[in-house]
Amino acid sequence: MDLGARRVPKPGPDRPAALDGIAARVRVCGLCRLCETRTNAVPGEGTGRAGIMLVGEAPGRKEDETGRPFVGAAGKNLDLALAAAGIDRRDAFVTSINKCRPPANRDPTPDEKQACRPYLLEQVEALRPRVIVALGRHGLHGLLGQMPEGFAALPGTFLAGPQGIPVWVSLHPAAIIYRQKWKEKYLEQWRAFGEWSRSGATAPVGASLPPASAAVHPPAPPPVHHPLAPSPAKPSPTDPWPPHMAASRRRP
């Protein structure tokens, strides 16, 4: 039974009908050997009405079981990123380069990527998003057809993408699971992306975005002293120690 087929969003004015035709072909695809080991193909989901398309690497175990993209641990980090950006996941379109899970979550091979890439380009053509987000190096490779050098310096940057649509590069959400020290920067880049998305500005291809403004990521408010609470005692001019330490410093 194809569990994913029961979860396909219904066609409507906010979701191009062509996406459902592509999804139907993906679910019965036999263009590469990954069809032999999959439980469910994962075409993608979301309306795309925000003009944002998110492209990852390939389904994992949870995605293979459900037929839905980014529903495992990496999906939780993607949800955190979208929340930081102020983007409703339902309004984006989430998919991956490969639509079937590679055995044991190994990297997709070049021929597997090549077999699946036409489906991705069809989805891009159907959606015509304002921007495509490449989630990790494999997502970027599948979109561009080649891997730019120095990927480590690319997250947060816009690149020229397929069909004239700019690509914004993000760390893959799974990378944050194993490298928590990257999490703050990852979320800060997504905040900046969300601010850019709402601004309507042209994508600065070849450049990264400035940090999000204070209005998007406000600092923590200072503590408020209740007007009825007693004011904190101040040290005596003759005793430099604070009251709670002064007694212990004086001899009996």
**What is the pLDDT, as a whole number, of residue 137?**
92
Query: For the stretch 30-60, what's the b/e string if a residue is b when 16 or more beta carbons lie within 10 angstroms of its beta carbon?
Result: ebbebeeebbbbbbbbbbbbbebbbbbbbbb
- CA dist 182 and 163 (Å) reads 31
Q: Which of 180, 188, 56, 168 is nearest to 123 (CA)?
A: 56
**102 and 59 Cβ atoms separated by less than 8 Å:** no
pLDDT surpassing 70 at residue 188? yes
pLDDT-wise least confident of 9-23, 93-107, 124-138, 198-212? 9-23
Give the whole-angstrom CA distance, residue 194 versus residue 216.
9
Give me the mean pLDDT over the 160-178 stretch: 95
Least confidently predicted of 45-49, 68-72, 144-148, 157-161? 144-148
Q: pLDDT by residue (tens digit) across 81-91?
A: 999 999 999 99
| 238 confidence band (pLDDT: 50, 70, 90) | very low
Q: Does domain 3-223 fall into CATH 3.40.470.10?
A: yes
For position 247, what pLDDT does the model report? 44
Distance in angstroms (rounded) separating the CA atoms of residues 46 and 74 = 17
- Percent of the residues in the chain that have a pLDDT greater than 90, as a whole number: 74
- As a whole number, the mean pLDDT across the chain is 84
pLDDT classification of 3: cutoffs 50, 70, 90? very low
The pairing of beta strand 52-56 with beta strand 93-96: parallel
pLDDT of 213:
81
User: How do the domains of the chain map onto residue ranges?
Assistant: 3-223
Rounded to 5°, the CA angle 168-155-128 comes to: 10
